[in-house]
Each structure stands twice: as structure tokens, then as C-alpha cells.
Amino acid sequence: MAADAEQLLHEGEARHMLALDRIGEYEVRPGFYDYEGASPIPGGVNFTVHSHGAVSCELLLYHRKESEPYAVLPFPENYRIGDVYSMIVFGLNVEEFEYAYRVDGPYDPAKGLLFDKSHVLLDPYAKAVTGQSTWGKKVSDDGYRARVVRNNFDWGALKQPKIPMEDLIIYEMHVRGFTKLAKDVSAPGTFLGIREKIPYLKKLGINAIELMPVFEFDELAGRRIVDGKEVLNYWGYNTVSFFAPNTSYASAVEYNQEGLEFKQLVRALHENGIEVILDVVFNHTAEGNEDGPFISFKGFDNNIYYLLTPEGYYYNFSGCGNTMNCNHPVVQQMIVSCLRYWVTTYRIDGFRFDLASILGRNEDGSPMEKPPLLQALACDPILADTKLIAEAWDAGGLYQVGAFPAFHRWSEWNGRYRDDLREYLKGGLWCAGAALERITGSKDLYDPAVRGTHASVNFLTCHDGFTLYDLYSYNQKHNEANGWENTDGANDNRSWNCGWEGDTKDPEVIKLRMRLIRNACAVLFASRGTPMFLAGDEFCNTQFGNNNAYCQDNEISWLDWGRLELFPEIHRFFRQMIRFRKEHPAVRGTKVPAVCGLPETSIHSEIPWMAPAEGSRAGAVLFACYDPKRKKDDIVYLVINPFWEAVEVKLPGLPDGLKWYMKVNTSAQGEEFLELAIWIRNDRVLAGARSVMILLGERKEK
């Protein structure tokens, strides 16, 4: 709010200096039209909302838990400028009311006009939503309402980490599932639970967490009973309000301070050098299709907020019933304002955009060459230091990995990395060339001159699909518990059960699985690009073969921390590989070339300087750069043998005085697979069956 406006209204001076109107028992005046939502001001509250097609708007005020409003305040006609209604209501105490709107206008479904004054509508810019503070408890039949939030959190002088993309190590987690079964936290399944787990995160070595949706969503949408068990919309990809945190993720009700516990979490993570990335869902909302509820956008301007067919039906490029009209100026403005709000009010460091290709579709659903929304986000000054990560595809068949409209700013979830490396690491020798290209940064997809050198976010697992343990324990998905007769979820998993479907006590199968997990871990953290992995992969968490656990609010999705004790060697290997990555700029990427003349990256087979061809059984990647910190060249050689027999690999020659030093060997005897301290006497190594080696070019001290 402008300083002169604050001064004018300070301590009730407005009553002496401004002519006030009266609606019922309330004194009112025209409000601040460029401040969307509801904002507390001295002496009252400013309410601003807009609708292009409406002919009238009413503000409804409720006492908590009351079904009928105690006051209905129609916006006077002269309180509307353009499409914006704005009104200051004096004498309101924000702790004593909740609010909603009713909007009237034309009803013509064929034209996408669905105005109906009987619908109670949630403010699209609401900063807090009532009625869902308890997980799994049904929102009132009277609909959603909003609260006014006091934004008085003191961030102090704390600076955000601002970690470069090449140095980032992303850990994807679900707020509830991460600590629901954790015995060492006081508030399982909450923001506080994550805060209490920060020592674990620091010890693991990650420096960014990517939170699955934390905007207010309805977990009870689509609630069903399957085989006697309740299934919910657990993941949260059905946004109710874009500006409001999910209040059921707080450990206590935060009346008019909603978001406080989340802010405390963000501050604590920043204090420990960990960034916060939010998984945001702007491609669709919880209002669904023609049969879905009226929550907010349908009632305010259905034909503006959603992509509609010429007949007035919803396009469904999201697979969830509706598709947001993201490149309409009104919707674009809302999305930009939303992200600015989370960056300035919550100090969020980055966003991962679910089904981001939808954000580049025109109003007729066609892909745009230069989508205004994507360009606006890339160029926005408030978001200048914010990570922008696209899931570069959608449910309508638009796949843009490597071709997403990036404007020199956007990174991408590299789905090609996931697919090619999964295939290669399970023995798909035919995929060697593509897999090694992914390891070197996918320059065939991301031209460094156009996309920079860190456009690729590399991952083998994420919330959507198998866990890493399940990737090598199941040949087929096992989603029967979802209630769709195992028809949901991806069929192309590129997994391998190592000879037995599911859990087994066979020591040879278990041994092989552990090696393949180590292989995947070693390759992920020794690849050019930003690594990301799914929470729990570091201790072999399982979803029992379910590769689409979106509805499983139970032990299928919750992390089983008991497995940390069952698989300590995998956890230790993850920590060591994360530390290895941090210690080697040649892997992360640098602009300083190696003094010895070796190229920055190069691809090899079991024969150096010869790329894999038909008949090649092993592949290798050489990274080299100058490390200013250690004042010497950093030379890393990654050897991958996905073949089922050992393969002799000849190593590239090194400049005078340097020798190859074995750092990692996933097929080593015992449990010491890293920190091996083995000097290679000649130019050859024997890569064990289905194994990964990492060697360093070092100067051997006498």
C-alpha cells in the first residue's frame, strides 16, 4: 500500500478526512484497486476482487463455523473501476470473521458464462482458506471461505542461499509423507516435522528440497474406498487456492497467521544452507470439468480462466478435467503475482512447474512459439534470482524436453535422461550413445549457446513412478490398491526385478539389486546437470511396486524410516557420492578449461577415444577442468559396465606425472565401494559385471 494511503488511514484519521458511505452498520469507502485480495489496514480491511463478465458483486462476512453470513455488503456501482470491485470496510477485526463473495451475471454455458448468484465463491487471491486445517476432514458443505492474514513475519537480516544450478542437489519430498512415520519428530506429517529433520538433511548433504504441492488443495476430492481402505488425493495436484498454504500441513491452527510455520521452516532451512523449491500446479484447478464444483474461478470468469472448446466445454490437456488459460492477460497477471507473492512473502528460492507445456498453449489449445507467460516469468525482476524448472510435457501429448521455450532462463526436468539411463543401466547396451550423451549434459538437447550449460535437471526417480528400490525389484507396476484394476500409472518403466518380482530373501538377488542401486546413485551424481532424487531412495524406501501412488495416504507412500537401519550401506553411499560431487567441479561444470589440454567432456567405450558402437559392452565419460580452489586440474573418468560379465577397460593416457586413481567401484568386495585409494599400475581395469567405476587423474605422491 502506498505510504500516503497508510498515513491517511493511520489511527482512524480517515473518518475525519474522508467522506464515508454506510452499508448496513458498516462504514465503507472505495478501496485500493491495485491490491488484490483482502488486506488489513488501520481501522479496517481492504477488499479487492475483479470479474469481467459480472454485473454485480457481494461481500459475505461470516463468523467462524457459522453457515450463514452475518453481513452481506453489496459493492456500490461507483465502487467499481473497469472490472475491479474494491471497498474498504471499517470496524472489522480480522480475528472475528471469514469472508467470501457472490457474483451475478449472464448464464450461457455455450459461451462459457456460468454466473450464478447462488454460488458462494472463494477469493481467487485469498491468502488463507478455512475449513481444511485438519487433514482428511471434509470442508463445510457451505463452501470455502477465506481469512485475512497478518503478514508480520520478521525475516531479519538472513540472506537466501542463492546456490548456482550447477551446485544444486535437489531432494524431492511430500510434506506429509516425509515424516508421517518418523519417530524422532514431535509433529509427524507437518512443516514442523520437516524442520525437526533438518539435521538429517544436512548430514545427507543435499542443499535444496523440492516440496510437492503446498498450495491449499482438497485431499478429499475423489475420495473412494478400495478394498476397505480409504484413498485420497494425497499428492495434492488439485489446487484450490494459489496464494494460500495448505493449512493441514501446519502442526497447529494458525488463525490469521496462516503460513507462519511454513515461514519458520523456510527460514530454518536457509539458515542451514538449504534452498526451498515448490512444485506448483497452474495447469488446472480443483474445479474439474462440467461436473466439478464451483469454488472460485468458474464463478468469477469461467471463460477467461479456463481453455474452452467452441461449444463451451473444458479442454483437458491436464488429464484432470480442466486446463487453465495461462496466456490470457488476466490469468498471466495472476500467476506472475502469485509467484512474486511466494518469493517476497515466503522467500521461496525456486519453482517446478507441473505439466509446464500447458503454460505455453494458446486459448485454442495450440502451442505458442513465444508464450507470453513463460517470457514474463523469465524476465520478471522480482523472480530474477528464482529457479524456474519446467516439467516440459503435458497430458495432451505435447512433449517439449529440449525444446521448451526457455528465454535463456528455464531449466527442465530431463525426461530423456531418466528414460535413457534407466534403459542403459539395466543392460540396454543399444542405448549407450544416448545415455552417455545425457551424462555429459545432454548438449544434443540443450545447446549451450542457447540454453546455457545447466538447463538439464537429471533424475532417475521422482514422485511419479517407481522408487529407486522398486526400479530394481519389479518388472511390472502393482497399482491394484489404487482401485483402477492396475490400469493407471505408466507401463514404460524400464525397470528390472533382477530375477524375482518384489521382495525376496535370495542373497544373490539382493546383492545384485544393491549394486544396481549404487550404480544409479554413482551415475546420477557424476552426471553434468543438476541432480534430483526422491526422498527415501537413499535408504531403499519402497512403494511395493506402486508407480502411481497419488491416492495412497498410508504406508505405501509414507517413508519407512526403519529401512534406514536395514540399508545403512546404501545411505552411506549416497552421502559419499553427494560429497564426491561437491568436491569435483569437472563433474558439476566449469568455464575454466583444464591446463593439461584434455577436453571438458568426452565419450568413450572400453577403448579410449572411441565412442560405443555395436558390440561395445562398456561406456565411459571423461570430465576435465581446472580447479581454482585446489589450483590443479580436476580429471574424472566414469566407467559404466551394464553388461552381465566383467569387461576389461583400457584407460585414456594422462599427461606426464599423473596416474589413474580408483575412487569408486560399485562391485568392490565388502562394503567399501568408495574411498578405495587404489592406484592403477597400468592403463587397464577390469570393470565387474553390472558395475560402475570412477577414477581420478592424480599426481601420485612419492
State the sign of the Cα–Cα–Cα–Cα dihedral 660, 665, 667, 668. Answer: positive
Q: How many angstroms separate the Cα of 107 from the Cα of each of 33, 103, 115, 120, 386?
A: 27, 12, 5, 16, 41
219 catalytic? Reply is: no
State the sign of the Cα–Cα–Cα–Cα dihedral 561, 550, 231, 285. Answer: positive
Q: Counting Cβ atoms within 10 Å, is residue 554 exposed (0-12), middle (13-18) or buried (19+)?
A: middle
CA distance 306 to 324: 4
> Which three-class secondary structure string do you get for 316-339?
CCCCCCCCECCCCHHHHHHHHHHH
CA distance 281 to 481: 25
CA distance 404 to 411: 9
CA distance 524 to 638: 11
CB 226 within 8 A of CB 214: no
Question: Which letter does DSSP use for residue 623 in this model?
Answer: E
Q: What are phi and psi of 142, to 5 degrees?
A: -80, 0
Closest by CA to 463, choosing from 169, 168, 173, is: 173
- Which of 277-286 are b and which e, b meaning 16 or more Cβ less than 10 Å from the residue's Cβ? bbbbbbbbbb
Total H helices, total E strands in the chain: 17, 31
Q: Given 254, 301, 354, 464, which residue is catalytic?
A: 354
464 catalytic? Reply is: no
Residues comprising the chain, all counted? 702
CA distance 672 to 675: 7
Q: How many angstroms separate the Cα of 517 from the Cα of each of 581, 636, 691?
A: 17, 21, 10
Beta pairing partners, 695:
637, 662
Could you give the angle at the alpha carbon of 481 between the alpha carbons of 477 and 484, nearest 5°? 80
Q: Given 104, 216, 218, 391, which residue is catalytic?
A: 391
CA atoms within 13 A on the CB side of 95: 3
Q: Which three cell numbers stand for residue 517?
A: 542401486
Q: Which three cell numbers stand for residue 197?
A: 529433520
Active site amino acids: 354, 391
